[in-house]
Structure 1
Amino acid sequence: MTGPTAPDRLLSVLAAFDHEHPALCLTDISRRAGLTLTTTHRLVGALTEWGALERDESGVYHVGLRLWELAALAPRGLALRQIALPYLEDLYEATHENVQLAVRDGSDVVYIEWLSGRSAVGVHIRVGARWPLHATGVGLALLAHGDPRFQQEYCAGELESFTPYTITEPARLRRELAEVRRTGVAVSDRQITDDALSVAAPVRAADGTVTAAVSIVVPHADAQVPVLAPAVRVAARGISRALGWQPERAQGGTLRDDSQSTRESELPSGQRRTTA
């Protein structure tokens, strides 16, 4: 059995940094990466010279701007965020609630934008954070429209619980995903914290595939899903069209707009936007 390759070791150094550990000294990087101090010193030096890491005056290392520049090229990262932001801001201005945009990465949902609302709910989200797909509204929206084989494998796997309301039964999750496909929205009720509810809708790319999801998070006690659902669907539809999705040109004429029954006249006052 061979040991870690040079690329593996390099990536393990970068993986030592996360939201809980944004700044590390050389010893901490060595420990978290599982590498000798000598190897870590050599790799950190190369990464710092290239710009992937930066060293401050105290000798502590941080992620460098060169990685941010590369991340900006990711079609599901900053590029998507830039296109979606006007629609997310419209949704926020109409509701003043927590608004988020997320994409799927394996079995997790990763948040690429977050607009903090006035509601004092136990939101454990920040840009770059990830949660299991089954436990969030955006995750359910992405999973429901994902590859059927992946859905089957996910539902058969271990479903982590965070509150008494988290979906942990495969049969119930399958029913929930079917309901998401039927209604065009996903509702996650108190699955991460016991005071928050989220309503999410899928965002489609130009070819009709679901590439992201947008949601709004509100206090469970005050949630009015029939009012929130049309607003979220309109935001998701706006982002989809900005990405080039045109439901009237769907393949074979069979792909319907999940939100086609939602007219902007259904939105709360002040929510309507002019379609570009």
Structure 2
Amino acid sequence: MAADRVSAVETSVEVIETLARLEKAGVTEIANEVGGSKANVHKHLKTLQAARLVRQSEAGYTLGHRFLHFATTAQQTEPIYRESQQYLTNLADVTGTTATLVVREGLDGVYLQVVSPTDNRTEAPEEGTRAPLHELTGGLAILSCYDTDRRTELLSELVDSETRARTLQDRLETIRQHRTAISDRDGAGNEDGDTPREVVAPVTAGDGYPAGAVGLWTPASGDEDARVETDLRKLVRNTATTISNRLTLTR
């Protein structure tokens, strides 16, 4: 509820999000972005600077390196992150493509880990990137693990259209049957897109509920499309199964 929120903290969060988006900005630019006065924004910046959350230079303000500690802590508190590191690295090395781990946070999917081979950085989201579950291939893989009633409940919160919800239910059932989700070639169902495709398999915990989703980002070429339909699906499923077993054993 809005009554339970602290407006000053909300403003500080907006300042931090603005710096994350712009990378570097001055007081005036930040004030314009958050819709506040320069004097008020300046106070927030100085408070954040004292906490080492932002840094100041002649060119403006940037995020402080203290956020690196927060990011590492946020990752390490997730059991699936700890159990999947080795296997995601192996998956990326064996395939020569970028491997990812997506987890659910509320109604969003978050890229918790992104691993690329040193000699081949496939275009893929950065760690921490988030989007509504139904907009991510990994999010769809996660949703597919829930029973029909729970899926219906979540989709009712994610989409407004009943037609869209039914279409998603059908796709989730297909993903559930095949234990694999494949993204559209360009994210819109077009066959000639140049955007890398994503092959994803859900990771479950001992109770059968989703813990996350493992994926591979593959270049959009004819050769890679053939691999998507064969070896990559199997490799991703096997990796997801291995991580699921590890989570079950360590619970």
- Provide the rounded CA distance (Å) in 2 between the counterparts of 1:62 and 1:206: 42
Q: Say whether 1:114 aligns with 2:109.
A: no
Going by fraction, where is helix more abundant, 1 or 2? 2
Query: Would the alpha carbon gap of residues 198 and 44 (structure 1) be closer, same or farther in structure 2, given more than 3 Å must change?
Result: same
Q: Say whether 1:245 aligns with 2:248.
A: yes
1:70 aligned counterpart, secondary structure: helix
Q: Give the RMSD, CA atoms, in angstroms.
A: 3.2
Query: Would the alpha carbon gap of residues 21 and 177 (structure 1) be closer, same or farther in structure 2, given more than 3 Å must change?
Result: same
Q: Gapped runs of 5+ residues in structure 2?
A: none
1:21 aligns with 22
Worse overlay, 1-10 or 21-30: 1-10
- Provide the rounded CA distance (Å) in 1 between the counterparts of 2:82 and 2:61: 29
Query: Would the alpha carbon gap of residues 13 and 233 (structure 1) be closer, same or farther in structure 2, given more than 3 Å must change?
Result: same
Measured after TM superposition, the shift of residue 227 of structure 1 is 1.9
Measured after TM superposition, the shift of residue 96 of structure 1 is 0.7
Would you say the 8 A contact 2:24–2:59 is kept in 1? no
1:98 aligns with 98
Q: Say whether 1:87 aligns with 2:82.
A: no
Q: Percent identity?
A: 26
Would you say the 8 A contact 1:76–1:103 is kept in 2? no
- Provide the rounded CA distance (Å) in 2 between the counterparts of 1:204 and 1:75: 18
Q: Gapped runs of 5+ residues in structure 1?
A: 160-167, 250-276
- Residue 187 of structure 2 aligns with an amino acid whose one-letter code is I
Would you say the 8 A contact 2:98–2:124 is kept in 1? no
Q: Say whether 1:172 aligns with 2:167.
A: yes
Query: Would the alpha carbon gap of residues 206 and 217 (structure 1) be closer, same or farther in structure 2, given more than 3 Å must change?
Result: same
CA-to-partner distance for each residue in 1:218-237, whole Å, 9 max, x for gaps? 23433232321221012122
Query: Would the alpha carbon gap of residues 29 and 158 (structure 1) be closer, same or farther in structure 2, given more than 3 Å must change?
Result: farther
Would you say the 8 A contact 1:97–1:116 is kept in 2? yes
Q: How does 1:74-223 map to 2 (within 5 A)?
A: 74=74, 80-116=80-116, 123-146=123-146, 147-148=150-151, 149-154=153-158, 156-157=159-160, 169-192=164-187, 194-195=193-194, 196-205=196-205, 207-220=207-220, 221=222, 222-223=224-225
1:257 aligns with none
The list of structure 1 runs, each at least 4 consecutive aligned residues, that deviate by more than 6 angstroms after superposition, is 1-4, 76-79, 118-121
- Provide the rounded CA distance (Å) in 2 between the counterparts of 1:211 and 1:110: 12
CA-to-partner distance for each residue in 1:14-42, whole Å, 9 max, x for gaps? 22223x41222122221212211111111
Measured after TM superposition, the shift of residue 49 of structure 1 is 0.5
Alignment counterpart, residue 227 of structure 1, candidates 226, 231, 236: 231
TM-score by length of 2: 0.78
- Residue 49 of structure 2 aligns with an amino acid whose one-letter code is T
Would you say the 8 A contact 1:71–1:78 is kept in 2? no
Measured after TM superposition, the shift of residue 119 of structure 1 is 7.3
TM-score by length of 1: 0.72
- Residue 32 of structure 1 aligns with an amino acid whose one-letter code is E
CA-to-partner distance for each residue in 1:230-266, whole Å, 9 max, x for gaps? 2101212233334x3249x9xxxxxxxxxxxxxxxxx
Measured after TM superposition, the shift of residue 201 of structure 1 is 1.0
- Provide the rounded CA distance (Å) in 1 between the counterparts of 2:174 and 2:241: 19
Worse overlay, 178-187 or 40-49: 178-187
Would you say the 8 A contact 2:124–2:217 is kept in 1? no
Measured after TM superposition, the shift of residue 45 of structure 1 is 0.5
- Residue 31 of structure 1 aligns with an amino acid whose one-letter code is N
Q: How does 1:63-78 map to 2 (within 5 A)?
A: 63-74=63-74
- Provide the rounded CA distance (Å) in 2 between the counterparts of 1:207 and 1:54: 45
- Provide the rounded CA distance (Å) in 2 between the counterparts of 1:110 and 1:234: 22
1:60 aligns with 60
